[in-house]
Chains A and B, each alone.
Chain A
Amino acid sequence: MNRQVYDEQMSTGAVIAGRGTFEPAGGWGGDHHDGVPVYILSRHQTPSWAAEWRLVHYVSDLDAAMRDAKHAAGSKNVLVHGSSIAQRAITAGLLDELEIHLVPVLLGDGRRLFEHLGIEHRELERIRVLEGDAGVTHLRYRVPSSEANKK
């Protein structure tokens, strides 16, 4: 990944992710970066292996998680991590910006990034394009609120 893009992700003030991202990653050892709080969307209880991690909060409500994460992040951004949670945040009108790391390969199969948006078309505003390493293209968009999209 491009250094600038990586640094930006690592300078966020809170992280929101789904269980499907958090648990296979071993919960990032309880600290995604710099001791910022981590909110995990889940209908389940905190698993025992993560129960002692003071930065990790299992929550069931996306709105509440977003509110807490924004509060915790203060003037910094909130990193929304993982395709499922990103889609839910877009659908709920809670995502401000979207950064795609477009990797130069056709996989042919696997999980799609945008499969369950359940929205009507939404215009975005491209705010940055970066040529990353290894042919990766970093595309950054602003996601206008759903109100702003109604013409």
Chain B
Amino acid sequence: MGVVEITLAVSLDGYVTGPDPTAQDPLGVGGGDVIGPGGERWMVDESSAAAGAVVAGRRAYDHTDGWGEDPPFKMPVFVPTHRPREVRTAGATTFTFVADVESAIAQAKEAAGDKNVHIMGGASTADQALQLGLVDQLNLHIDPVLLGGGTQLFADVGSDRIRLERTRLIEGPRATHVQYRILRD
């Protein structure tokens, strides 16, 4: 059985985008310059190889215009949204739009089989998944920057404490990569 994991790059002051993210500037003002992709190349490869399905937020989908003609995922992607639309196939990727984060994860697990479900954000999707208690593992790529504003990670994870166990710590050339397992009480 695979795990459900969140992978996000975050500034040291806790933002996953700079201020005012838009379609033209999906990582917000200044965010694109400083927030790296989800870790080093080999980590991206590692987590892609282990994943069997992806959960991606609707805002990221819209801001990237559905990742264009040939999206990089090449596996089923589930997008929680209040604005349903038809399944879209682009290259080797299918995007399925579902009502909420809970059903996105449930369907992604089904599709992933023995592989992992990779939650790539955004912050709201990640927060909801954590609040629902549906996440097994958290990969934070902490970028050495203070953004001073933007989209906060963990702004809405509910009021119950979620305890973590650090399972990996890697000093990348720029970011610090910390992996946590979510502990269940």
Chain A residues proximal to chain B, CB less than 8 Å:
90, 98, 100, 102, 104-109, 112-114, 117-126, 129, 131, 135, 137, 139, 141
Tell me the bound Cα distance from A102 to B166 in angstroms. Answer: 10
Chain A residues near B147: list those with CB within 8 A: 121
Chain A residues near B176: list those with CB within 8 A: 126, 129, 137, 139
Chain B residues near A122: list those with CB within 8 A: 145-146, 148
Do B148 and A118 touch (CB < 8 A)?
A: yes
A-B contacts besides A107-B161, A129-B169, 14 pairs, CB < 8 Å: A90-B146, A102-B178, A104-B163, A105-B164, A108-B161, A113-B13, A119-B146, A119-B148, A121-B11, A123-B145, A126-B174, A129-B176, A139-B142, A139-B176
Say whether B69 faces chain A, with CB atoms less than 8 Å apart: no
Do A137 and B166 touch (CB < 8 A)?
A: yes
Partner of A141, one of B12, B14, B34, B180: B12
Partner of B171, one of A108, A119, A126: A126
Do A105 and B161 touch (CB < 8 A)?
A: yes
Q: With contacts defined as CB atoms under 8 Å apart, how many contacts are there between chain A and chain B in the complex? A: 87
Do A106 and B164 touch (CB < 8 A)?
A: yes
The number of chain B residues with a CB under 8 A from chain A is 34
Say whether B53 faces chain A, with CB atoms less than 8 Å apart: no
A-B contact pairs, 20 of them (CB 8 A): A100-B12, A105-B162, A106-B157, A106-B164, A107-B161, A108-B154, A114-B14, A114-B148, A121-B31, A123-B34, A123-B144, A123-B145, A124-B12, A124-B144, A126-B144, A126-B171, A135-B164, A135-B166, A137-B166, A137-B178
Tell me the bound Cα distance from A68 to B130 in angstroms. Answer: 46
Do B12 and A104 touch (CB < 8 A)?
A: no
From B153, which residue of chain A is reached at the shortest CB distance?
A106
Chain B residues proximal to chain A, CB less than 8 Å:
11-14, 18, 30-31, 33-34, 130, 142, 144-149, 154, 157-166, 169, 171, 174, 176, 178, 180
Tell me the bound Cα distance from A100 to B162 in angstroms. Answer: 19
Partner of B166, one of A104, A114, A117, A121: A104
Do A109 and B159 touch (CB < 8 A)?
A: yes
Do A124 and B164 touch (CB < 8 A)?
A: no
Do B161 and A106 touch (CB < 8 A)?
A: yes
Shortest CB–CB separation between residue B184 and chain A, in angstroms? 13
Do A121 and B142 touch (CB < 8 A)?
A: no
Do B14 and A106 touch (CB < 8 A)?
A: no
Do B165 and A135 touch (CB < 8 A)?
A: yes
Tell me the bound Cα distance from A131 to B158 in angstroms. Answer: 28
Chain B residues near A114: list those with CB within 8 A: 12-14, 146, 148
Chain A residues near B180: list those with CB within 8 A: 104
Tell me the bound Cα distance from A104 to B13 in angstroms. Answer: 16
Chain A residues near B164: list those with CB within 8 A: 104-106, 135
Chain A residues near B18: list those with CB within 8 A: 121
Q: Please name the 9 residue pairs, one residue from A and one from B, whose CB atoms are nearest each other, closest first.
A: A114-B13, A104-B164, A106-B162, A121-B30, A124-B144, A119-B148, A135-B166, A117-B148, A122-B146
